[in-house]
Amino acid sequence: MNTIDNYDFRGKRAIIRVDFNVPLDDQGNVTDETRIRAAIPTILKVLDGGGAVILMSHLGRPKKNNDEKYSLRHIIPTIERLLGRPVIFAGDSMGEKAAELARGLKPGEVLLLENLRFYAEEEGKPRGLADDATDEQKAEAKKAVKASQKEFVKRLASYADVYINDAFGTAHRAHASTALIADYFPNDKMFGYVMENELKAIDKVLESPRRPFLAILGGSKVSTKITIIERLMERVDRLILGGGMTYTFMAAQGGRVGKSICEPDQFATALAILAKAKERGVEIVLAPDALVADDFSENAHTRQAPSNDIPDGWEGVDIGDRAKELFREKILSAKTILWNGPVGVFEIDKFATGTKAVAEAVVEATAQGAYSLIGGGDSVAAINKFGLADKVSYVSTGGGALLEYMEGAELPGVAAIRK
């Protein structure tokens, strides 16, 4: 199979599916350029090899076409600064202007198409249906979008000679630009460096980890993590469960958790997880204490409390001091570390000290020779917030894609290249 390293890009136009779904502030400025920075090596590989580049991506979840708030024009200054080259903006993806600009691209030039999600065909979902639409109307609308999706994909493919998927963050979506377009390039399709490195990093952790292997899972709800917990229990030696999940586990065992986030309908699941872990010889580590607050705000009063004995009117918002020491001890004893999800409400500085302590412990373990993979949107945001991203082994750009891949699902964007 062709790879980005053995392909001859001279005189070729490469259409690259990148993941430039980055956060913007109210003025349209990029506030976290991690995903754009990650794509630069792939883009430069094509350009330095004598080819031209057509970039396509989505941004946000626009409800209508051509919503200026979600236009990719906002990110052009960031791309140009990181790439060190000018970027031509098509202004659309399907119009004659885009086709004309693609045809006229010269080696070394970069063209950016407009937000793919301005077109219903990208996701293959109808838009603009009335709330009271009948099932028959919905079915007809879906059929119409699927029919026009073929033309959408064909049009995108016509712009280029080679297709590169470098958008791991959207690889779990069977969308036009991540899965369907690859069929138009049977002998000229490949992964970019982001995709290649993501898959290698995750496979290294899941398939051939150095032991002890520790996974740290945060998040608010057990219900959203069941599959990944069960999958990881087949592989890890130790599993730290943090975040809001903690209180469901504590309550399931008879503890009181005040007004902390809790899922009573998951008590049986939580107990089953603990029993299964014991049976498999996997150590489950829960925070023995918590930072609790009387309000979900920076101005809240806070105190420490046992995680299984939180007073009424108080809620757990971070791990406590004993938990910080316990988690650090477990992290430093590991040789392979997977971290997905913060252990507290790190977006509020007052509640971020636990997540920062975990990040610092992972960095310390990495410096001592452990392999550390950070994945999931919130974990990446946290490691970036604390300025520690360059001190761990690998930071994944994928959120849902990372979780689904770890859960054992075949990702459409990966399968489309490999078939």
Angstrom distance (rounded) from CA 180 to CA 121: 11
Query: Which SS3 state, helix, strand or coil, does residue 298 take?
Result: coil
Is 289 annotated as ligand-binding?
Answer: no
Q: What is the radius of gyration, based on Cα positions, of the chain? A: 23
**35 catalytic per annotation:** yes
Is 51 annotated as ligand-binding?
Answer: no
Is 173 annotated as ligand-binding?
Answer: yes
Is 376 annotated as ligand-binding?
Answer: yes
Alpha-carbon distances, residue 186 vs 160, 161, 162, 417 (angstroms)? 13, 11, 9, 9
Is 378 annotated as ligand-binding?
Answer: yes
Strands (E), 342-405: 371-374, 394-395
Is 117 annotated as ligand-binding?
Answer: yes
Question: Residue 288: CB partners within 8 Å, gap ≥ 6?
Answer: 306, 307, 320, 322, 323, 326
**400 catalytic per annotation:** yes
**211 catalytic per annotation:** no
User: Could you give the angle at the alpha carbon of 61 between the alpha carbons of 55 and 63, nearest 5°?
Assistant: 115
- Candidates 377, 398, 399, 413; catalytic one: 377
Question: Residue 5: CB partners within 8 Å, gap ≥ 6?
Answer: 45
Is 316 annotated as ligand-binding?
Answer: yes
In sequence order, what DSSP letters do the residues of 209-236 get, joined into one string? --SSEEEEE--S-GGGTHHHHHHHHTT-
**150 catalytic per annotation:** no
Is 35 annotated as ligand-binding?
Answer: yes
Pairing relationship of beta strands 110-112 and 256-257 according to DSSP bridges: unpaired
Is 118 annotated as ligand-binding?
Answer: no
- Candidates 37, 85, 142, 221; catalytic one: 221
419 has which bridge partners? none
Angstrom distance (rounded) from CA 55 to CA 175: 16
112 has which bridge partners? 55, 89
Is 21 annotated as ligand-binding?
Answer: yes
Is 225 annotated as ligand-binding?
Answer: yes
**Pick from 362, 238, 260: which is nearest to 307 by CA?**
260
- Candidates 17, 35, 324, 356; catalytic one: 35
Residue ranges for the binding site?
19-21, 35, 58-61, 117, 173, 225, 316, 347, 376-379
Annotated binding-site members for ATP: 225, 316, 347, 376-379
Residues acting as catalytic residues: 35, 221, 377, 400
**Residues that constitute the known binding site for substrate:** 19-21, 35, 58-61, 117, 173
